[in-house]
Amino acid sequence: MTRNTTIGANTRELIVQLSRGNAEPAHALALSVQAELNAILSSDLDAASALRQQARQTMFAIDEVLALVDQSDLRGAWEAARDAAKEWRVIPEAQT
């Protein structure tokens, strides 16, 4: 499974876990997505590349998910996870 596929699958699962009120698995998934995004952001990809820019945008949403889960705001975290999934889906197919 590619990193991009993993991020996509984990953001979708994150939404499911949050909708079910499962804070611990959601937190673990968000940390996993964060690590994958950090790997992209610290790679040698051109800073202006679409993949890197989308990873940066997705990271903002994942950081928000983590903060909201820590505050026990699972509804807000769910909304932020949905934003992360939307951000990730717009990556051009040629880069996935």
pLDDT profile of the chain (96 residues), mean per 10: 81 96 96 94 86 90 96 96 85 45
pTM: 0.86
User: Tokens in use for 28?
Assistant: 């673990």
Q: Which of 63, 37, 20 is nearest to 71 (CA)?
A: 63
The amino acid at residue 7 is I
pLDDT value for 18: 97
CATH of the domain spanning 3-91: 1.20.120
Contacts 24+ apart (CB under 8 A), 80-87: 81/11, 81/14, 81/15, 81/18, 81/26, 81/30, 82/15, 84/11, 84/14, 84/33, 84/58, 85/8, 85/11, 85/12, 85/14, 85/15, 87/54, 87/57, 87/58, 87/61
pLDDT value for 26: 96
Q: What are the residue boundaries of the structural domains of the chain, listed by start?
A: 3-91
pLDDT value for 30: 97
